[in-house]
Amino acid sequence: MQAELTLKGITKEEALEVKDRMTLLEAETGKTYTVKEINTDDDDMNSFLFRLGCYEGEPITLVSKKKNSCIVVIKDGRYNLDELLSEAIIV
């Protein structure tokens, strides 16, 4: 739990510092963004996202979001992402 909170804190701070960078959970529903950075701290996960077509420079559309998860469109597929992933994808 502790780690989760710290992790959340850091990403939020970062997002506040630089206005044009935000996590998916801070983005607006229905809009298409360009992925700026993906950092899941897990190489395998990063490359898995890559293979789905989610990497820097590619478009990503936020279809809907909840408190701690969201649904996005990557390429032509819809995916449900949990909190960790939504915060690891910077748009």
Partner 1 sequence: MRIAFAGNPNSGKTTMYNALTGRSEKVGNWGGVTVGTKEFKIKDEYAGGKDVTAVDLPGAYSMSPFTPEEGITSEYVRTANPDAIINIVDATNLSRSLFFTTQLLELGIPVVVALNKSDINEKEGTEIDVAKLSEKLKCPVFETTSTEGKGLSDVIGKAISLAGSSQDAPYIQADINLHDKAAVDAEDRKRYSFVNDIVAAVEKRKQLSSETTGSDKADAILTNPVAGIIIFAAVMYCVFWISQTALGPAIADWLVGWIETFQEWVAGQLENSPAIVSTILADGIVGGVGAVVGFLPLVVVMYFLIALLEDCGYMTRVSAVMDPIFKRVGLSGKSVIPVVIGTGCGIPAIMACRTIRDERERRATSMLATFIPCGAKIPVIALFAGAFFAGAGWVSTISYFLGLALIFLGALLIKWITGYKYRKSFFIMELPKWKMPSLKFAFKSMMERARAYIIKAATIILVCNLVVQLMQTYNWQFQIVEEGAENTSILASIATPFAFLLIPLGFGAWQLAAAAITGFIAKENVVGTLAVVYGLTAFIDVDELEMTGGANTVAATMGMTAVAALAYLFFNLYTPPCFAAIGAMNSEMQSKGWLWGAIGLQLGTGYTVAFLVYQTGTLMTEGHLGTGFLPGLIAVLCMAAAVYFIGKKTRAHFDEQYELHRKDGKQGAAA
Q: Are 20 and 90 in contact (CB under 8 A)?
A: no
Least CB distance to partner 1 at residue 54 (A): 9
Print the binding letters for residues 40-79 with partner 1: x by CB under 8 A, - otherwise: xxxxxx-xxxxxxx-x---x-x-xx-xxxx-x-xxxxxxx
| Token duo for residue 69 | 């998860």
Q: Are 40 and 85 in contact (CB under 8 A)?
A: yes
Query: Cα–Cα distance between 36 and 38 in angstroms, integer?
Result: 7
Q: Which is nearer to partner 1, 17 or 44 (CB)?
A: 44
Positions touching partner 1 (CB under 8 A) are: 1-4, 30, 32, 40-45, 47-53, 55, 59, 61, 63-64, 66-69, 71, 73-85
